[in-house]
A and B are shown apart, each in its own frame.
Chain A
């Protein structure tokens, strides 16, 4: 009997729905699951599914990294590779404090030995460049000429995914925007992408659009902002501290020069996660003194805030911008020098506004308060 090898590392509802859709088309194949998530193999076996845990990733014993650096920098990919326009070997920089710290040769070799030993006639794996094992299995399928199916896992339209190497024969995603992104960047052939809409996210958007005023009132009450005050919402993520500083510098200038749209508005900084709540007050002490923003804890609901705001501003393409836009609110992607390659994220067909430093206009954010 032929075998479908299924790499399964996550159990989100919509991912499982897409997986079920693929497996439904291959009922004639025996299903064999492999996972790098500890404990998931047990869970699958309890449901009478054949499952193997292969392990992967960083762990103690990192100091065999020297062997790894020797081995990898001498391989055909990096050997002789220099930084363009210079004579500096890439291997002399990129291993330090970067690649060298994050892999374990013995463990990874073991995972790869297993990957190469599996016999399979179809591969189904996450489309996720953070999942090294799945990516290795995808390449292994390609080398063997075995058909493979990738299922979108996590957020697809990122700066790094523009450069990703995907060679699945077929891909399942949850939005037409993702399909456009894959096709435009040559990650998948047009006919090879299937869109299975995420009902959960569609429901969320419907809920936002249908209950906007009530959600907005709740957000204002939580943040202590009067109903007649306009709100400009910025979502702060530590990764984008530099972009955030540029944005806030622009806002400070706009306030100083009396731009009406900002004079009568509250700036709300919504933290993306708990670490941001620690870092923002330290990194932006001066800006906080000058701009006196309302700081919203990550536990607060950013979607509710979005319903109360004139505009929601973030620094990279993100599901929240997409959902807010679909719910009829203004979503702005601020990428000062297209540094986050936001112009390559397939924004066509959405209302998300892409703004660079040269064309960001605070005076256009709503009328005078």
Chain B
């Protein structure tokens, strides 16, 4: 049987986290997967680190650099530079809004990545390219270069579409995905947005959330014994309820986020019958986090959660404190109760889970004492129905077979 070859580009941690289960599934079925990464933003967010942590072999696109490629990069970068420079004295141009360092750096890195993706594909000659989302600095270029070479191009989606935040033309969910032969989506919710914008919706497949497959297949590391052992390793005592606090990103929080975090930590300092997993948004700044992490010291019932994937933590918890978060969707998939924190009655959490009837609400530091009661309360039939509807709409089928569907579809695509 012929071995199909995939070049899979991964960037920040969520790329490999979301793609890994699919790539592993395909590898087990005879596909060869070559992971490639690039530099990123003066390497402040190294693309190599998530791959090293995951333990997968990878190459940097810069390993494909040679003098001929370097000359091409220089030439092409010069063409774009001259075009920019011809307009740079016009009022209110790009360079008035973005620091010139960042603009110059980004143009250069764009040309480097574009040329090097082409070089990687020319040398490896894969059958397929894979990216997490096409609407991404690297994803767009990889899909374009693949398409230009007649290679089948696949892109995936992650997270639900948020109509108050995402834009149907300029968001990671859309931007036409014009260079993808297949766009694999989690559920109908995102499909409806894609179908309005994508010129040829026949390329779209609703498959579910593939990264959740292993969890719904009950594989060993997600067994109840393994979960109990991990709770003990964290320091969770018998009978303690574990709560994840999925702290929203500072730019997305409703109300005084610092005040909320401090109140939650103080609450857990008093309530030693509960255990706190404090988890910041993966893109949160270190300086902001550093303001709170020291507050956990000396608390036997609180730890900072630094696991790369939220879903690994969700396995361990009895409930989740949050505002608006994709983590909430994953909690609902595992039937974990949600408790929304909004201490400012004048502000509205736009797509809050409470508003949708899927979470209890805490509106002041004093009300945090209601949490144990919320955790004890059984899920009502009405909430269960809403939860199941929401999950079906957003995550399609939670049957652990997403990768099976993707595999079947890829085989069909390769036969075309």
Contacts and interface: CB of A to CB of B under 8 A. Distances in A.
Bound pair: A and B? Answer: yes
A283 B137 contact: no
Q: How large is the interface on B (under 10, 10 to 19, 20 to 34, 35 or more residues)?
A: 35 or more
B53 A72 contact: no
A97 B110 CA distance: 11
Interface string B219-261: 0000000000000000000000000000000110000000000
Contact of A165 (B60, B62, B85, B108): B85
B296 to A, nearest CB: 19
Q: Which of B11, B75, B84, B139 has the most CB of A within 10 A?
A: B84
B39 A242 contact: yes
Contact of B94 (A63, A78, A96, A131): A78
Contact of A132 (B41, B53, B98, B106): B98
Contacts of A165: 85, 88, 95, 100
B107 A108 contact: no
A66 B170 contact: yes
Contacts, number: 181
B140 A160 contact: no
Contact of B137 (A60, A98, A242): A98
A84 B170 contact: no
A143 B65 contact: no
A315 to B, nearest CB: 11
A241 B99 contact: no
A250 to B, nearest CB: 14
Contacts of B137: 93-94, 96-98
A337 B66 contact: yes
A86 B79 CA distance: 13
B104 A129 contact: yes
B251 A132 contact: no
A75 interface: yes
A165 B84 CA distance: 10
Nearest to B135: A96
A108 B75 contact: no
A77 interface: yes
Contact of A84 (B70, B75, B89, B165): B75
Interface in A74-94: 75-78, 81, 83-86, 88, 90, 92-94
Looking at chain B's contact residues, the main secondary structure is helix
A283 B148 contact: no
B136 interface: yes
Interface residues of A, number: 66
Contacts of B42: 239
A169 to B, nearest CB: 14
A54 to B, nearest CB: 13
Contact of B87 (A76, A163, A285): A76
B111 A83 contact: yes
A77 B93 contact: yes
Contacts of B105: 160
A336 B64 CA distance: 12
B353 to A, nearest CB: 21
Interface of A: 60-63, 65-66, 68-70, 72, 75-78, 81, 83-86, 88, 90, 92-100, 102-103, 105, 108-109, 112, 116, 129-132, 135-136, 139, 142-143, 159-160, 163-165, 167, 238-242, 245, 279, 282-283, 285, 336-339
Given A142-B89, A160-B104, A160-B105, 6 more contacts: A77-B84, A102-B102, A129-B99, A130-B99, A135-B100, A164-B100
Interface of B: 11, 39, 41-44, 46, 48-49, 52-53, 60, 62-63, 65-67, 69-70, 75-77, 79-81, 83-85, 87-108, 110-111, 114, 135-141, 144, 148, 165, 167, 169-170, 172, 175, 250-251
